[in-house]
Chain A
Amino acid sequence: MSRQANRGTESKKMSSELFTLTYGALVTQLCKDYENDEDVNKQLDKMGYNIGVRLIEDFLARSNVGKCHDFRETADVIAKVAFKMYLGITPSITNWSPAGDEFSLILENNPLVDFVELPDNHSSLIYSNLLCGVLRGALEMVQMAVEAKFVQDTLKGDGVTEIRMRFIRRIEDNLPVGEE
């Protein structure tokens, strides 16, 4: 399908509320379509991945960031540029592993979960799992294989929402890691 080649640097913003409501309706529908939370989590991750591989093009076109030289730079760009640009929030970066290959993104507030409550029978649902897929897909397109997962979630009663990012390896050839 064709894509508009040049968005220019203009950006259109919309209320988080509409996005939150749409995301919520989507998760609700997925919970109806799939029997268990694990399958919904997988679908959210896959959908996020598909969004991420396209989002990175938009990001690179509009953000003017250069190539990141290490994972620390990548973390900064993700938190301070990308999250700000797309979700209007700036997570903080903490808990670096000694080897510098893992860090946490702490989201004080997560627009996806405004007004959301998890019902009791969906305790295994990773509601915002789309975000993990987006991060994974976007970074894969810039030659980084990473793992992203939620380790804390305000929806589950934690004080903050924390996404743990782990660098797996550099993707040397131009073939993507591959999606089943």
Chain B
Amino acid sequence: MVDAVLFELLHTEMVAELWAPDSDLDPGPGGQRTSLQVLEGVGFRVGQALGERLPREMLAFREELDVLKFLCKDLWGAVFQKQMDSLRTNHQGTYILQDSSFPLLVHVGSGLQYLEEAPKFLAFTCGLLRGTLSTLGIKSLVSASVAALPACKFQVVIERS
């Protein structure tokens, strides 16, 4: 077992490193998008690998909603030692997952302070969700928004073929 603090610090350092890797260039708007994509991509790979290690019986989901509940309960539990606070859906493939105290934002700040910085602390986790869903056979787009730290919402939109 690894202490959660180590993961949080690793994540913070990963954000710092992959956001603006040792270079003289500040990421401009184009660079900013790329940096978020890189972080999201790292999260995606981890989510995929995590999904591949799930016990087979966990994968016998009957419905899409069961998969989302699994993310909110089991995945969040494994990664953040807590459950998502709420899950809402329009029953047409869009889900809103709400965490009132997202652990990776707690040490960034509170309220409106550092609101601009929030996206980079959410990119990895968005990728993680998207990657796990991908291994479970579901293609999705995952984004996150923050109104006031450390509460945030993850939006999962299932891509129907």
- List residues of chain A with CB under 8 Å of any chain B CB: 1-4, 7, 11-19, 21-23, 25-26, 28-30, 33, 43, 47, 50-51, 54-55, 58, 85-88, 111, 130
Classify chain B's interface size: 35 or more
CA distance A111 to B10 in the complex (A): 14
- In the complex, the answer to whether B108 meets A1 with C-beta atoms within 8 Å is yes
Cβ contact of A14, chosen from B18, B43, B81, cutoff 8 A: B81
B114: Cβ under 8 A from any A Cβ: yes
B33: Cβ under 8 A from any A Cβ: no
CA distance A19 to B22 in the complex (A): 24
- List residues of chain B with CB under 8 Å of any chain A CB: 1-7, 9-11, 13-14, 16-18, 21-22, 38, 41-43, 45-46, 49-50, 53, 78-79, 81, 106-110, 113-114, 117
Closest to B107 in A: A3
Residues of chain B contacted by A23 (CB below 8 angstroms): 10
CA distance A12 to B6 in the complex (A): 10
Residues of chain A contacted by B117 (CB below 8 angstroms): 1
CB<8 Å pairs between A and B, sample of 7: A1-B109, A4-B107, A11-B4, A18-B7, A22-B7, A43-B22, A86-B3
Closest to A11 in B: B3
Interface of A is mostly: helix
**Distance of B124 from chain A, by nearest CB (Å):** 8
Residues of chain A contacted by B9 (CB below 8 angstroms): 51, 54-55
CA distance A12 to B78 in the complex (A): 11
- In the complex, the answer to whether B114 meets A21 with C-beta atoms within 8 Å is no
**Distance of B30 from chain A, by nearest CB (Å):** 17
Q: A14-B78, A19-B6 are in contact. Are A26 and B1 (CB under 8 A)?
A: no
Cβ contact of B106, chosen from A4, A16, A50, A87, cutoff 8 A: A4
Q: A1-B108, A13-B2 are in contact. Are A50 and B42 (CB under 8 A)?
A: no
**Distance of B7 from chain A, by nearest CB (Å):** 5
CA distance A28 to B43 in the complex (A): 12
- In the complex, the answer to whether A51 meets B10 with C-beta atoms within 8 Å is yes
**Distance of A117 from chain B, by nearest CB (Å):** 14
- In the complex, the answer to whether B109 meets A15 with C-beta atoms within 8 Å is no
- In the complex, the answer to whether A21 meets B49 with C-beta atoms within 8 Å is yes
Closest to B110 in A: A2
